[in-house]
């Protein structure tokens, strides 16, 4: 793979930066950057097909253009959507690459796995920095050897995907961009999804772990699978309707209404119970010592206290 094709797949690489230095920020490149952001809004993580060299260079530059637009907009929701989508695009490429290429991309983020006795190892600080909040990646569930964590090929790809997401969402503020950037920003604002659900959760209404997840959703921050599952079972258990739950999940950067509604209906059809506090703790989602045993019990006690006050 030559440097141009590598940069096209991985526009954050040093190869991409070298190419972008020789490309002017034309109206076309800015428009391609805007389209890149809009694709993230639509949840389209399929890479754009470009055949000629000039088109490839413009596509690489569109990544930088998109970051400039987002740097001016300072919209956390958009930035998170963009970062999640770009990381998914990268992951789709990584899944097709050989080990050598994956390690080449990983090196961009100072991720250097070592191979010892047919076992892949990664130093603990790097692993912690890029591991995701999921039971599978928790250190208690991993094998550690002298300060190194044992990983496999899929783990490495997932860690690089997370590294890409973190890098992409770290966008410097752009205070005085070209007029075209300002015009594009105005257009994108008009295309932002309008959610009818406002997350208003007061302290005491729900257990601290749930309030923490609702606050994260309100800030348009991404939630991992365990957090989403736990939040959905809890909201369902306290009697929240499908539309209201969907509205909360609409705040997340990778929201897909069809998938969300399907999962809520599946959860209700199967009658899944809310995880116990010990299970929530194993998910890494516990943020306080409530000692209620089950999150729903907290809510019931809260409702009882409110009724007593109204008497």
CA distance 107 to 255: 30
Q: Cβ(63)–Cβ(36) under 8 Å?
A: yes
CA distance 81 to 144: 34
* Torsion angle of C-alpha atoms 243, 244, 246, 251, degrees rounded to 10: 140
Q: Cβ(159)–Cβ(189) under 8 Å?
A: no
Q: In this predicted structure, what is the pLDDT of residue 303? A: 63
pLDDT tens track, the chain, 311 positions = 788 999 999 999 999 999 888 788 899 999 999 999 999 988 888 877 777 899 999 999 999 999 999 999 988 888 988 999 999 999 999 999 999 999 999 999 999 999 988 899 999 999 999 998 788 888 988 999 899 999 999 999 999 999 999 999 999 999 888 899 999 998 988 877 655 455 566 667 788 889 889 888 887 777 888 899 999 999 999 888 888 898 888 888 777 788 889 999 999 999 998 988 888 888 888 888 777 778 888 777 766 655 544 44
Domain ranges of the chain: 3-89+175-191, 99-164, 208-310
CA distance 189 to 183: 10
């Amino acid at each position: 793979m030559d440097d141009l094709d590598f940069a096209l797949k991985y526009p954050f690489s040093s190869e991409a930066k070298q190419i972008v230095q020789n490309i002017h920020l034309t109206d076309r490149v800015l428009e391609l950057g805007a389209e890149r952001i809009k694709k993230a809004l639509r949840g389209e993580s399929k890479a754009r097909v470009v055949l000629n060299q000039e088109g490839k260079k413009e596509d690489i530059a569109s990544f930088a253009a998109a970051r400039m637009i987002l740097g001016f907009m300072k919209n956390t929701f958009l930035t998170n959507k963009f970062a999640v989508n770009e990381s998914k695009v990268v992951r789709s490429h990584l899944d097709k690459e050989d080990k050598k290429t994956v390690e080449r991309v990983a090196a961009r983020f100072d991720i250097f796995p070592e191979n010892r006795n047919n076992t892949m190892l990664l130093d603990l600080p790097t692993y912690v920095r890029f591991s995701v909040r999921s039971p599978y990646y928790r250190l208690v569930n991993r094998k550690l050897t002298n300060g190194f964590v044992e990983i496999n090929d899929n783990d490495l790809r997932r860690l690089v995907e997370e590294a890409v997401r973190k890098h992409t969402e770290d966008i410097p503020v752009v205070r005085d961009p070209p007029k075209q950037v300002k015009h594009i920003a105005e257009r994108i604002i008009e295309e932002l999804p309008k959610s009818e659900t406002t997350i208003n959760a007061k302290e005491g209404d729900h257990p601290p772990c749930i309030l923490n997840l609702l606050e994260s959703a309100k800030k348009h921050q991404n939630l991992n699978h365990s957090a989403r599952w736990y939040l959905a079972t809890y909201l369902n258990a306290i009697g929240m309707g499908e539309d209201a739950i969907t509205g909360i999940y609409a705040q997340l950067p990778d929201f897909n209404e069809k998938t969300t509604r399907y999962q809520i209906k599946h959860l209700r059809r199967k009658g899944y119970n809310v995880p116990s506090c010990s299970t929530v703790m194993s998910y890494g989602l516990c943020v306080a010592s409530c000692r209620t045993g089950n999150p729903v019990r907290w809510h019931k006690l809260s409702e009882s206290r409110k009724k007593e006050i109204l008497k």
